[in-house]
A and B are shown apart, each in its own frame.
Chain A
């Protein structure tokens, strides 16, 4: 079994292209995910997020480009590779007569031959049910679970083999806030305790900011931004909001250059300033700015890599 160097990238993609007939979905994607990293792929609908993930999962063969996942070509990789990769699928009515407990212990069984002392596989069923919060529904028919409970089961199935690399395609769609919070805890635990590398897509920018070490924005079939949320905000030159008060009067000003602005503020008013608040640009502002800039055709700026 080949494996990626411990410090090398677990995912490495160069010049990935994908077309369906005349329609180009991906026009040259380059991306890397290092071991233990949590990377979030953002992008408008139709940008090719799902296609990218499905190629990395080995479910689709790309039209062109080099794709390496855990050191192998995912489309041709064997079963030993599958044992190291977890995929959270969006199911809707499979195994309706089975119970979560039964399904988890059945599917977990396939990982047993790949158990290693340093990485025992699969997870213990009870422990996993507890982790995703399904213990009290463990013996119900899956067909009677609510949408949110089903998604938790999907997550449980995805991680049952204690994967080294986990793919999550819009994992929290249909979650209520509490389920979302629980799910984020699960992701943090996997990343911190198990060292699992994670690539996820989402439309929830707050979620991306909370979970991801690094954010990639996919637009028009390529990666248009790459960096931490703060670095992206700097790159997008999105404006921060400065609010201050001088005695009774309150002011608001939007500026990309916070520090010089605040310095001038103090030079002018000095001790007259009684309150000061700086709100950095949110990831949402950054995201909208980046995607709009890309869509208006200013590719040269948008394509810049952002240093970590």
Chain B
């Protein structure tokens, strides 16, 4: 076995270990609970609202869309903040000092943040199916499409999260570099209300980025075919969605290693020391 393959194997195990440790940590349990309760409460208070002139109940439209929004948010902000933090606390430096360590580290990150979607989806989907009627209209096919949409969405956005984590100057800058753009994008991507409510140029901008397309794929998984009339062009545009997301995935995976290598090259003990000193300053 080549050292690279060996390192990737170690990375897979590392991702799994991090996932298990995260499930056991009160902090992360709290996070999953918070997201699930928040989402369910939002849907519950809007359970009697009907989407204007469609005959669709609001939770039916919003649940798949919100799931898409949450996937994008956690898969971008998760790795971005982990990377920015572990660059400052020395995790990355440790791996830089070890043969093929960076390959293992990156593999671990990809696995960990992908697995992190499972508890989030389960804690939202299971209670939703119990609380709301008629969420999944398409049965087994729908679940398959949902799985496909998740995988494609993950491939399209996870590299972006790693990329942001590699270039953001420090953890404290993450708000401006990561949170803000992702939230703005979520707001205009038809997650909480159909995109037609916005100006035409905003719709164009939203359709450049993955969030809108993941939401669209998710809705096509859950909603009946007739509901396609709510969408732009009265269609699910599945082909276009797959194409756009694949393009993002390819571009992201081509760009990611370059930025990660650049980040690793710059990593040094003094950098970790400076971050530590800065952190101690804040505590004082």
Among A103-111, A270-278, A282-290, the stretch in contact with B: A103-111
Docked-complex contact B269 and A59, CB < 8 angstroms: yes
Q: Which residues of chain B (15-48) have a CB below 8 Å from chain A?
A: 17-18, 21-22, 25
- Supposing A94-B90, A97-B21, A106-B13 touch, asked if A89 and B270 sit within 8 A by C-beta, the answer is no
A113 contacts which of B6, B21, B270 (Cβ < 8 Å)?
B6
Docked-complex contact B94 and A94, CB < 8 angstroms: yes
Residues of chain A within 8 A of B89, CB atoms compared: 91-94
Residues of chain A within 8 A of B13, CB atoms compared: 106
Q: Which residues of A contact B (CB under 8 A)?
A: 50-51, 54, 57, 59-60, 79-80, 82-83, 85, 87, 89-95, 97-98, 102, 106-107, 109-114, 157, 161, 169
Q: Is B55 an interface residue (CB 8 A)?
A: no
Q: Is B196 an interface residue (CB 8 A)?
A: no
Please report the C-alpha to C-alpha distance between residue A85 and residue B13 in the assembled complex, in whole angstroms.
Answer: 24
Expressed in whole angstroms, the minimum distance between the Cβ of A169 and any Cβ of chain B is 7
Q: Is B197 an interface residue (CB 8 A)?
A: no
Residues of chain A within 8 A of B93, CB atoms compared: 59, 89, 91
Expressed in whole angstroms, the minimum distance between the Cβ of A100 and any Cβ of chain B is 13
B108: nearest chain-A partner, CB-CB: A106
Query: Mostly helix, strand, loop or mixed at chain B's interface?
Result: helix
Which of B3, B18, B101 has the most A CB atoms < 10 Å from its CB? B3
A55: nearest chain-B partner, CB-CB: B268
Expressed in whole angstroms, the minimum distance between the Cβ of A81 and any Cβ of chain B is 8
Docked-complex contact B99 and A90, CB < 8 angstroms: no
Q: Is B273 an interface residue (CB 8 A)?
A: yes
Interface residues contributed by chain B, number (CB under 8 Å) = 33
A-B contact count (CB 8 A): 90
Which of A54, A93, A110, A157 has the most B CB atoms < 10 Å from its CB? A110
A-B residue pairs, 7 tightest by C-beta: A79-B99, A91-B90, A94-B91, A59-B268, A83-B99, A113-B3, A97-B21
Residues of chain B within 8 A of A91, CB atoms compared: 89-90, 93-94, 272
Please report the C-alpha to C-alpha distance between residue A157 and residue B98 in the assembled complex, in whole angstroms.
Answer: 10
What 9 new A-B contacts, CB under 8 Å, besides A89-B94, A113-B6?
A57-B269, A82-B98, A82-B101, A90-B273, A91-B89, A92-B272, A94-B91, A106-B10, A109-B6
- Supposing A92-B89, A97-B21 touch, asked if A110 and B270 sit within 8 A by C-beta, the answer is no
B276 contacts which of A57, A92, A107, A110 (Cβ < 8 Å)?
A92
B104 contacts which of A98, A102, A110, A161 (Cβ < 8 Å)?
A110
Residues of chain B within 8 A of A82, CB atoms compared: 97-99, 101
Residues of chain B within 8 A of A106, CB atoms compared: 10, 13-14, 17
Q: Is B100 an interface residue (CB 8 A)?
A: yes
- CB-CB contacts of B199-242 with A at 8 A, as 1s and 0s? 00000000000000000000000000000000000000000000
- Supposing A50-B270, A97-B25 touch, asked if A110 and B10 sit within 8 A by C-beta, the answer is yes
Residues of chain A within 8 A of B10, CB atoms compared: 106, 109-110
Residues of chain A within 8 A of B268, CB atoms compared: 54, 59-60
Q: Which residues of chain B (48-96) have a CB below 8 Å from chain A?
A: 86, 89-91, 93-94, 96
Docked-complex contact B269 and A169, CB < 8 angstroms: yes
27 A-B pairs with CB atoms under 8 Å apart are A54-B269, A59-B96, A59-B267, A59-B269, A60-B268, A82-B99, A85-B97, A89-B269, A90-B269, A91-B89, A91-B90, A93-B89, A93-B90, A94-B89, A97-B21, A98-B21, A106-B13, A107-B94, A107-B98, A109-B6, A110-B10, A110-B99, A110-B100, A113-B1, A113-B6, A114-B3, A169-B269
Residues of chain A within 8 A of B276, CB atoms compared: 92
A51: nearest chain-B partner, CB-CB: B270
Q: Is B7 an interface residue (CB 8 A)?
A: yes
Expressed in whole angstroms, the minimum distance between the Cβ of B261 and any Cβ of chain A is 13
Residues of chain A within 8 A of B3, CB atoms compared: 79, 113-114
Docked-complex contact B14 and A157, CB < 8 angstroms: no
Docked-complex contact A80 and B99, CB < 8 angstroms: yes
Which of B6, B22, B99, B268 has the most A CB atoms < 10 Å from its CB? B99
B97 contacts which of A89, A113, A169 (Cβ < 8 Å)?
A89
Expressed in whole angstroms, the minimum distance between the Cβ of B49 and any Cβ of chain A is 42
- Supposing A54-B270, A59-B267, A106-B14 touch, asked if A95 and B91 sit within 8 A by C-beta, the answer is yes
A96: nearest chain-B partner, CB-CB: B89
Please report the C-alpha to C-alpha distance between residue A102 and residue B272 in the assembled complex, in whole angstroms.
Answer: 23
A141: nearest chain-B partner, CB-CB: B21
Please report the C-alpha to C-alpha distance between residue A165 and residue B267 in the assembled complex, in whole angstroms.
Answer: 21
Residues of chain A within 8 A of B97, CB atoms compared: 57, 82, 85, 87, 89
A83: nearest chain-B partner, CB-CB: B99
Residues of chain A within 8 A of B7, CB atoms compared: 110
- CB-CB contacts of B255-284 with A at 8 A, as 1s and 0s? 000000000000111101100100000000
Residues of chain A within 8 A of B99, CB atoms compared: 79-80, 82-83, 110-111, 113-114, 161
